[in-house]
Amino acid sequence: MEKGERGYIKRKKSSALLQAVAVAVIGVVIFLTGYFMNGNSTKNLLSVVAILSVLPGARYLTRFFVLWPYRTVTEEFFNKARRCVGDEDVLLVDLVITSAERVMNLDALVLTGGAAFGLTGKKGQDAAYITEYLAKHCGRYVDGYEVHITDREEELVEWLAGGKTRTFEDEDVKKDLVDDIMTLIVE
């Protein structure tokens, strides 16, 4: 499953937890093997290897806890959003993006030739901060690129239905813009 597809958050949470548990079990097995092979002593090379297995396990747990508060968009919302998006536009859903200061969740982000329109996924997020953060990234590829983030689904649908979108003039710019947004999404 790719970033920006429906179900991404749910799948990544599941896989991160499963990977963390697997690494923990492997670490315990390695530790116990070394412990019993060396006469009930923890002073052996396998103990060191077992302790080092904490590092990838911590990485997986961090990913799980970053994604934990967020949910995958409903099929109903996804279908509604897809109907509102033009053929040339890019619809990304299930986004958890990070900046140096915050973790942000967007249920949807629609990239058009002249503007991006997004819907926050979790109530209480600072839409102005998300707008500014994404505008900084998008502005590198398209001069005057506008970003509109809202916490109301109706407002997103209104923006998209209002014909404020326009097609990308250059496919390379479109690809670069999408690639840049993809780098912001939690893996």
Q: What pLDDT does residue 115 have?
A: 87
Rounded to the nearest 5°, which phi and psi values hold at 79? -65, -40
Residue-wise pLDDT for 72-123, tens only, equals 999 999 998 888 887 888 999 999 999 999 999 999 999 988 889 999 998 8
pLDDT at res. 96: 95
Alpha-carbon distance of 134 to 181, in angstroms, equals 8
What does pTM read for this prediction? 0.85
Return d(Cα 38, Cα 25) in angstroms, integer.
20
